[in-house]
Amino acid sequence: MAKIMIQGTASSVGKSVLVAALCRIFKQDGYKVCPFKSQNMSLNSYITLDGKEMGRAQVSQAYAAGLEPQVYMNPILLKPSSDRKCQVILNGKVYGNRSAMEYENLKIKFKDMLKKQFEELENKFDIVVMEGAGSPAEINLRKNDIVNMGMAELIDAPVLLAGDIDKGGVFASLAGTMLLLKDDEKKRVKGTIINKFRGDIEILKPGIDMIEDIIKIPCFGVVPYRKLDLEDEDGAIEFNKEVYDKIDIAIIKLPHISNFTDIDALRNEEDVSIRFIENIKEFKNPDLLIIPGSKNTIEDLMYLRKSGLYKAIKDYSKTGKVIGICGGYQMLGKTIKDPFKVETDKGEIEGLGLLDIETTFEKEKVTTRVKALENVENEIKENYVYGYEIHMGISSYGKESKPLFKIIEENGEKVQILDGAINEKENIMGTYIHGVFDAVYFREKIINLLREKKGIDKKKSKIFEHLREKELDKLADIVRKSLDIDKIYSIMGMKGPEK
């Protein structure tokens, strides 16, 4: 089996997207290819068909490879709950909450597991495209590293080092990274990639010649800056704050915001502007307000109070439209109880009181893939939504609450479970289903209601998955034209397809 690893000079240099591009290129060339990131730190996660949790970046890479996402693509997921603590997800299941130092000491135990799991991939795939995390030059983490050079050494993988020229200082970052690597690590780096370039490449060429002479490593190509509707690394997302189209959809940017990929499908809608707000001044008067998921719902609810957004949301809800997803749905209720101190030492907190529900945090996390119908009398089978649930809380209905959806399938099994809630005026609603806007029906219904209110003609929504496939092909085309793919095949010990 062939393998290649993309490492970066820093976080957010575009490693995730480059891995996705290579996965799609190798797939187009007729190879069975798989993405792999041994350890991912992200609050954007996903639930697989068998009810296991993994990072969203590897989900996108799996789609690029033409595969159903599986946790072996991301064995370790770290979900920060504070500056010093995170929840450790091991092979799709909660391992426990650990401090940074506690996790650092745990890494040694995971090495044998990672090596064994990677070796199992050798029997399934022709090529594995690996992704590092942060930078291999984080020398304070070198001793127990299991995601950059430590992982590359574990399975003897060649490395391409990517740098982001859009932020400036790409040559210094490439040279500085190489300077801090050990001699055996330097030998693993077979080439560099300059990513996110804008401008005339002829002006860049003298710099490329000089950096090749300084670090003695060839540049495999320059990838231009591109605007594609694809998921990127957490730190690379642009939290736009301006209204740029007719319909203004505002998202509360919570301190512990998670799964903000839930709104990706909305970005593809005509007339729609997506912006994030953090304070009262930015609130204004949106056509739709979304309160997204949170890794620490109670602390984020307290933040809403301190920032004044709590009152702003309640005032807006009298005439505006509000949708809460997962943690955002819990915040819309009357109370949130945490008897087992799952999130904080605060046992109970008052919610926004916009939906007649109460939430209690349990010890076990719910992780399910679901399919649901809108909870209406004359249900139409085509009017379904699909997605996944990741939450610790269980919400109970009060007398004035009406369920929003009826889940009919859970991890492939037929069920009849109520989900979410909607108020009598139908302007406040919430759900536990992440990805609720991916399905054409619900997204089209919501956006057309907003269009109708503003006197804009209704439109048909497009299938999100079809749009994603087109964008992945565009990405592969850009990267194939930008990089020396033959050289990449060569360092993997392959000839590549005949042209």
CATH class of 2-230: alpha beta
What integer pLDDT is reported at residue 236 of this predicted model?
Answer: 55
Sheet of 219-224, strands arranged across:
33-36, 127-131, 2-8, 159-164, 189-197, 219-224
Q: What is the percentage of the chain residues whose pLDDT exceeds 90?
A: 90
Strand partners, 272: 247
pLDDT of 465 strictly over 70: yes
**CA–CA dist 94, 112 (Å, integer):** 19
Average pLDDT over every residue of 277-290: 97
Nearby residues of 489 by Cβ (< 8 Å), 6 or more positions away: 495, 496
Q: Determine phi and psi for 388, rounding to 5 degrees.
A: -150, 155
100 vs 83: CA distance, rounded Å: 9
User: Which part of the chain is CATH 3.40.50.300?
Assistant: 2-230
Distance of CA 257 to the CA centre of its chain: 11
pLDDT value at position 320?
98
- The chain-wide mean pLDDT, for the chain, equals 95
Check residue 298 and report its DSSP letter. Answer: H
Whether the pLDDT of residue 81 is over 90: the answer is no
Contacts 24+ apart (CB under 8 A), 417-423: 418/375, 419/370, 419/372, 420/329, 421/329, 421/332, 421/333, 421/355, 421/356, 421/357, 421/395, 421/397, 422/355, 423/354, 423/355, 423/356
Q: Which of 44-48, 171-175, 331-335, 342-346 has the lowest mean pLDDT?
A: 342-346
Q: What beta strand segments (E) does 225-299 contain? A: 247-252, 257-258, 272-277, 288-291, 293-294
At residue 169, the pLDDT reads: 96
Q: Is the pTM of this model over 0.85?
A: yes
466 is known as an active-site residue: no
Task: Give yes or no: 86 in active site.
Answer: no
Using DSSP, state whether 75 is helix, strand or coil: coil
- Name the residue with tokens 């890494």: 107
What pLDDT, on a 0 to 100 scale, did the predictor assign at position 232?
59
Fold observed for domain 239-461: Rossmann fold (3.40.50)
- pLDDT tens-digit profile of 190-238? 999 999 999 999 999 999 999 999 999 999 999 999 888 887 555 556 7
Delimit the CATH 3.40.50.880 region(s) of the chain.
Answer: 239-461
Question: Which one of 23, 219, 326, 391 is the catalytic residue?
Answer: 326
CA distance 78 to 250: 28
